[in-house]
Amino acid sequence: MAAQTRLIRLTWENNVSFKAETKLDDGDWILLLEMDENNHLASVWNNEITGVVTKFLDLKMAEIGNDMKA
């Protein structure tokens, strides 16, 4: 199998928004999560936002590991 590159882009502006995106090789960017600051970002940061990004990374690492062990 040819080498692959998984890019993850995190974009944020304090008091404005947070966005997480990913793409594989030369594919299009895929939006994982986008959250505007509406006085609720702090209350959902630890569970919802970091949870989504962490879960995505865990799944991708498992996929990569399974592919490399095959």
Distance of CA 24 to the CA centre of its chain: 12
Predicted TM-score of the model (pTM): 0.85
> pLDDT (tens digit, 9 = 90+) per residue, 10-65?
999 988 999 999 999 999 999 999 999 888 888 888 888 999 999 999 999 999 99
Check residues 51 and 1 and name the one with the higher pLDDT. 51
For residues 17 and 35, is the Cβ–Cβ distance under 8 A?
yes
Residue spans of the domains in the chain: they are 6-69
Q: How many residues does the chain have?
A: 70
For residues 49 and 30, is the Cβ–Cβ distance under 8 A?
no
> pLDDT (tens digit, 9 = 90+) per residue, 7-22?
999 999 988 999 999 9
